[in-house]
Amino acid sequence: MEHIEKVIDERIQGKALVTENKKENTKKLFIESYGCQMNMNDSEIVASILDKQGYNTTQILEEADLVLVNTCSIREKAETTVRKRLQKYNKVKRINPKMKVGVLGCMAERLKEKFLEEEKIVDLVVGPDAYRDIPNLLEEVSEGRDAVNVILSKEETYGDVSPVRLNSNGVTAFVSITRGCDNMCTFCVVPFTRGRERSRDPKSILEEIQSMVDQNYKEITLLGQNVDSFLWYGGGLKKDFNKASEMAQATAVGFAELLDMCATKFPKTRFRFSTSNPQDMKLDVIHTMAKHKNICKYLHLPVQSGSNAMLKAMNRQHTREEYMELVDNIFKIVPEMSLSQDMIVGFCGETEQDHQDTLELMKYVKYDFGFMFSYSERPGTLAGNKMEDDVPFETKKRRLQEVIDLQQEHALYRTQQHLGKTEEFLIEGTSKKNPNEWKGRNTQNTVAVFEKGDYKLGDFVMVKVEDCTSATLKGTVVGYSDNN
């Protein structure tokens, strides 16, 4: 259970981000990110934009000229944490009055008036599509005016911005391929804070990956709110694809094709992607994963509930049966696939039978990993506006614990399947518990720890798995893999 809760906490944990600094830059930027990996990647884009404005990153809050917090609105806990951080920033600001404070991301778009007009706790508010405007907004602030830009874009993908890699291990990196989301799930604020789906030019994606490969990164994760919806037909919103010319439609690039391009062009680089949506997942993607050894055999496939009634209430565009059929087909095509889930417990109107349906679905799939939450009403969502949050807190708490306990059981079952096998792992860093051990991940995204020996960060090594917990494998390195 500790592992599951730790994973949940890490999804909303803020991180002070830092990178190598330029000597010619004289101003200091302190930037923290909360929420999903898209937010982390957005912070890298912001750091790149501000690097050209003379800012180096710092991890010392008190010395910063500019403090930015990149925010998440997906859960109430994340918003509460950000508000506490803003209070701390403003205490430091009283000591260092030249320091400016800004809010970026999803909370910025959702709470712009509160931050600027009612609470007056920040100097600038910048939505996810307006990061290029930050230099102009800072000029507004320097002239004594509050600055805000939360306009959502139909075109912005930041495809031409080379992100500054923050807090990087030098081995793994993230590359955004889509922005926004068209799936109006009733519990989710993302379509309202990040706008409609649009995809990035494949050429710019391949160029960014090439720059990462040139810097010796070994694993790339392709990111999007819904990567399976990737569709490049020359630019514009996905929903406008049918209005495009016949030539544009005929030459469009979908996600399976993009994935194939990446794996083919960079055969020594491992690829992952996240997040997938069951209603948009096509089997051509799974066949592409089967075709390429360097595409990791791991899918994050959020289901949210095992109940058809709840799936309908959530406006998930699939049924329980369709999801199970998709899972069956995935395992037929890639038997060694590892699956993880997102699960919301206690959604509006959830009955005990709905909850049992979720537990039964989990038993059917036996997920390797899980991210589980009790429902909290998010203002601005369809559920927040039109549905009653009617499941008692104690009931949510009990149901969530049952889901966590079952996931823990399945996680142990899945890690036990690796015992006695010799598998490839990419060394990502030092074990948190033992400085004499490396930690690495296999193709299924499972972590192993093993003695360092003469191996180094970024090596692909073959490890014989000898022991496990529900979270971690333990083994002995038997040599390098043929991927080095």
Lowest mean pLDDT among 98-102, 302-306, 372-376, 385-389: 98-102
Taking a C-beta distance cutoff of 8 angstroms, is the pair 275, 300 a contact? yes
Residues of the binding site: 36, 72, 106, 181, 185, 188
Best CA proximity match to 225, nearest among 190, 201, 258 = 190
Answer whether residue 117 shows pLDDT above 70: no
Answer whether residue 391 shows pLDDT above 50: yes
Q: For the chain, give every residue range classified as CATH 2.40.50.140.
A: 421-480
The CATH code for residues 15-149 is 3.40.50.12160
What's the whole-number mean pLDDT along residues 475-482? 96
User: How would residue 21 be classed by pLDDT, with cut points 50, 70 and 90?
Assistant: low
CA distance to 8, 49, 176, 191, 220, per residue, from 427 (Å): 23, 31, 23, 36, 14
% the chain with pLDDT above 90: 63
Q: For the chain, give every residue range classified as CATH 3.40.50.12160.
A: 15-149
Q: Which of 6-10, 125-129, 312-316 has the highest mean pLDDT?
A: 312-316
- Please report the pLDDT score of residue 22 as a whole number: 64
What's the whole-number mean pLDDT along residues 33-40? 79
Lowest mean pLDDT among 20-24, 97-101, 226-230, 350-354: 20-24
Residues of the binding site for [4Fe-4S] cluster: 36, 72, 106, 181, 185, 188
The CATH code for residues 172-416 is 3.80.30.20
How far, in Å, CA of 142 to CA of 123, rounded?
10
Q: For the chain, give every residue range classified as CATH 3.80.30.20.
A: 172-416
User: How would residue 8 be classed by pLDDT, with cut points 50, 70 and 90?
Assistant: very low
CB atoms within 10 A of CB 184: 13
How far, in Å, CA of 130 to CA of 307, rounded?
38
| pLDDT digits 0-9 by tens, 422-453 | 999 999 999 999 999 999 999 999 999 999 99
The CATH code for residues 421-480 is 2.40.50.140
Residue 413 CB-half CA count within 13 A: 15
Best CA proximity match to 128, nearest among 146, 145, 103 = 103
